[in-house]
């Protein structure tokens, strides 16, 4: 069975500083990896996803993530955060099964950007 671990429940960071949100996964098969963002009182929206090819994936709002198969990680990074990046970030793993995809979300990391 697949699982996702987000070790940091909260990450405070000053505005314009870099940030890394960590995500580790486990699965017995090849999976696809996603990062979603949830702004207050809103649903989740896709930031980026890794399907295949280059291990460095660029997403919206200046975020990027690097897939590391040997370390089973998919950490999210941004070189300079903005106040508007304050939100909760969820890592997710998708496993293709017979006829459908099974998606498992991590517990989330709250990013608090401090002015």
Q: Which residues bind other proteins (CB under 8 A)?
A: 4, 6, 9, 31-32, 34, 36, 41-46, 49, 51, 90, 94-108
Q: Nearer Cβ to other proteins, position 44 or 65?
A: 44
What does each C-alpha distance from 36 to 68, 70, 84, 90, 92 come to in angstroms? 18, 23, 15, 5, 8
Q: Which neighbouring-strand residues pair with 58?
A: 64
At closest approach, how far in Å is the CB of 14 from other proteins? 24
Structure tokens at 10: 């909260």
Q: Nearer Cβ to other proteins, position 98 or 115?
A: 98
Q: Nearer Cβ to other proteins, position 32 or 66?
A: 32
H/E element holding 37? strand 32-38
């Amino acid at each position: 069975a697949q699982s996702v671990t987000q070790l940091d429940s909260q990450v405070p960071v000053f505005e314009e500083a870099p940030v890394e949100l960590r995500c580790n996964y486990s699965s017995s098969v090849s999976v696809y990896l996603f990062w979603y963002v949830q702004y207050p009182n809103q649903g989740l929206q896709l930031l980026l996803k890794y399907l295949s090819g280059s291990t460095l994936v660029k997403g919206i709002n200046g975020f990027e993530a690097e897939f590391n198969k040997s370390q089973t990680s998919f950490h999210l990074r941004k070189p300079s955060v903005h106040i508007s990046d304050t939100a909760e970030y969820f890592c997710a793993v998708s496993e293709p099964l017979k006829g459908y995809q099974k998606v498992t979300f991590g517990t989330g990391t709250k990013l608090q950007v401090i002015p």
